[in-house]
């Protein structure tokens, strides 16, 4: 999968996909949103009809800005990828993810930025997502994601991650369009 990539030399980055189940608990003692609509800053889930929701951010700056993405960012020197994802989620939306589990990894090559991106899934968190300088958070039903406003390749792997599957991928972009896309699901997300 990554034979042609200098994976040891590429910068590392993280993404977090937080999934809230249908028990209304949200893991933090916070009440759920009461109007059934995504976008109230709280996960829905009281009736289970809409199924799980996931937290995305409308990214205000940096790689992937103006798109809906998972919170995350670049790994800092001396930091583990797990420490990075916890820090980035806190910085971008003001919550602490409590159980991040690495479920995927992909190599991203583009005209101006290459990276190994480590993808985490989490279900427990503390706090309430808030807008920051970097991000505007919103809960979306997992079966109604804003796919037209996401990375094209997110459309390929995110449903698997939200479903609890693992994956590895390699995505080559040029002029913001994917030129090469490889994905394997159900494999260990090592690297």
Ligand X SMILES: Nc1ncnc2c1[nH]c(=O)n2[C@H]1C[C@H](O)[C@@H](COP(=O)(O)OP(=O)(O)OP(=O)(O)O)O1
Would you say 42 or 153 has its CB closer to ligand X?
153
- Determine the residue with CB nearest ligand X: 73
Q: How far is the CB of 148 from ligand X (least distance, A)?
A: 15
Question: Running DSSP on this structure, what letter comes out for residue 38?
Answer: T
Q: How far is the CB of 123 from ligand X (least distance, A)?
A: 19
Q: Which is nearer to ligand X, 29 or 77 (CB)?
A: 77
Measuring CA to CA, which residue among 85, 70, 104, 143 is closest to residue 1?
A: 104
Cα–Cα distance measured from residue 97 to residue 90, given in angstroms and rounded to the nearest whole number: 8
Query: 125 vs 157, which CB is nearer to ligand X?
Result: 157
User: DSSP states of 116-153 as a string?
Assistant: EEEEEEE--EES-----SSEEEEEEETTS--GGGS-TT
- At closest approach, how far in Å is the CB of 113 from ligand X? 6
Give the span between the Cα atoms of 26 and 45, in whole angstroms.
Answer: 9
Q: How far is the CB of 69 from ligand X (least distance, A)?
A: 5
Query: Are the C-beta atoms of residues 185 and 164 closer than 8 Å to each other?
Result: no
The nearer residue to ligand X, 38 or 172, going by C-beta atoms, is 172
For the CB of residue 26, give the shortest distance to ligand X in the complex, in Å: 23
Residues that bind ligand X (CB under 6 A): 13-15, 62-64, 69, 72-74, 88, 108, 115, 117, 151, 153-154, 171
**What's the rounded Cα separation, in Å, for the pair 127 and 46?**
19
Which residue, 125 or 171, has its beta carbon nearer to ligand X?
Answer: 171
């Amino acid at each position: 999968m990554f034979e042609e990539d200098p994976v040891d030399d590429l910068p590392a980055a993280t993404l977090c996909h937080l999934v809230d189940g249908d028990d209304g608990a949200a893991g933090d003692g916070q009440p759920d949103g009461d109007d059934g609509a995504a976008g109230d800053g709280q996960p829905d889930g009281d009736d289970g009809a809409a199924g799980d929701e996931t937290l995305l951010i409308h990214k205000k700056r940096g790689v992937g800005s103006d798109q809906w993405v998972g919170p995350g960012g670049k790994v800092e020197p001396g930091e583990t990828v797990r420490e990075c994802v916890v820090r980035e989620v806190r910085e971008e939306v003001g919550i602490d993810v409590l159980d991040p589990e690495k479920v995927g990894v992909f190599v991203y090559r583009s005209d101006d930025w290459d990276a190994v991106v480590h993808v985490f899934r989490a279900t427990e968190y503390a706090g309430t997502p808030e807008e920051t300088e970097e991000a505007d958070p919103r809960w979306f039903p997992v079966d109604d994601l804003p796919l037209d406003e996401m990375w094209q390749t997110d459309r390929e792997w995110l449903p698997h991650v939200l479903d609890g599957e693992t994956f590895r991928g390699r995505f080559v972009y040029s002029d913001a369009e994917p030129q090469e896309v490889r994905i394997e699901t159900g494999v260990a997300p090592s690297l």
